Amino acid sequence: MNLFKFSSPQTFYSLAGKLAPAFGVIAAVLAAIGLYISFFVAPTDAVQGEVYRIIFIHVPAAWMSMVIYLAMAFWSAIGLGLGTRVSFYMSKALAPTGALFCFLALWTGALWGRPTWGTYWAWDARMTSQLLLLFLYFGHIALTNAIEDARRADKAGAIIALVGAVNIPVIYFSVKWWNTLHQGSSINLTKISVVNTMLIGMLIMALAAWAYSIAVALVRVRSIILERERRTEWAGVEIAAQGGRA
């Protein structure tokens, strides 16, 4: 199989068009199963009661926000290394969804923290790193939008994605270090006893989030490809064919 074949925007455009609905269906089915397990199969937690059920979106959202940033860095590295335009497009298409999951992780964390820790926000290592990750997303999106020259925007976004990815472990480690030195507040992470059904529910929800992210990124990348390749012949044909219906 020739992987470079898919690096042509035209091939990737039609491939994305075929794959996006498939991933969308997978996401919907997995989410339905996951939600059923979350609410009807997983038992009530002995310590936290029902509120722990937030875990089924909180943890997948937090995972996804990190995975997507790494995926952006991965596409950026490929784009800078091989000069494939599609890689940059993918990186750009992933960013809003990553920011969305990052925000959701913070939001659900706050709503989970209030009844269990008695506070919406704590300067806990994980929460703080998550907040900084959200800032990294904002920075990436703001930078790529601020640069008018599309190619410069691509490459600049790639550099900041890579620099951010290198920094994420440093940020996490430093925040953790800082947190252990400043353990002033009286917050104890009340452990929940993870039972198998919970773990399975969480994993299925995480897989649903994966499939959703892929589907959404593929749809978004199609718009980006059309926009950027509009002067090529195939894109012109596609625009003429689809534009009439829109």
Partner 1 sequence: MNWDSLSAFIDMGGRGAFVWGSYGVTLALIVAELWTLSQRRRDTLRRLSRLQQLNGDELNGNDSQSS
Partner 2 sequence: MSKAFIAVLRRDLLLAWRSRADLLVALSFFVVVASLFPFGVGSDPDQLRAIGPGVVWVAALLATLLALPRMFSQDFDSGVLEQLLLSQEPPVVWVSAKIAAHWLSTGLPLVVVSPLLALMYGLKPSAIEVLALALLIGTPILSLIGAIGAALTLGLRGAGSLLALLVLPLMVPVLIFGAGSVDAWASGIGLRAHLLLMGGGLFAALALAPFASAAALRITMD
Q: Which residues bind partner 2 (CB under 8 A)?
A: 80, 132, 135-136, 138-139, 142-143, 146-147, 151-152, 155-156, 159-160, 162-164, 166-167, 170-171, 173-175, 177-178, 181
**Contact between 38 and 209 (Cβ < 8 Å):** no
Residue among 204, 192, 161 nearest 39 (CA): 204
- The 107-146 site mask, x for binding partner 1 (CB under 8 A), equals xx--xx-xx-------------------------------
Residue 45 pairs in a beta bridge with 49
For residue 42, give every residue at least 6 positions away whose Cβ sits within 8 Å of its Cβ, in sequence order, or none.
Answer: 53, 56, 195, 197, 198, 201
Of 190, 200, 197, 184, the residue nearest 112 (C-alpha): 190
DSSP characters for 123-138? Answer: --HHHHHHHHHHHHHH
| Residue 61 sits in the site that holds partner 1 (CB under 8 A) | yes
Q: CB-wise, 51 or 156, nearer to partner 1? A: 51
Task: Give the C-alpha separation, 119 to 180, whole Å.
Answer: 19
Between 180 and 196, CB nearer to partner 1: 196
Q: Which is nearer to partner 1, 4 or 36 (CB)?
A: 36
Our CB check for partner 2 shows the closer of 111 and 143 to be 143
Q: Which residues bind partner 1 (CB under 8 A)?
A: 39-40, 42-44, 49-51, 53-54, 57-58, 61, 96-97, 100, 103-104, 107-108, 111-112, 114-115, 212, 216, 219-220, 222-223, 226-227, 230, 236, 239-240, 242-246
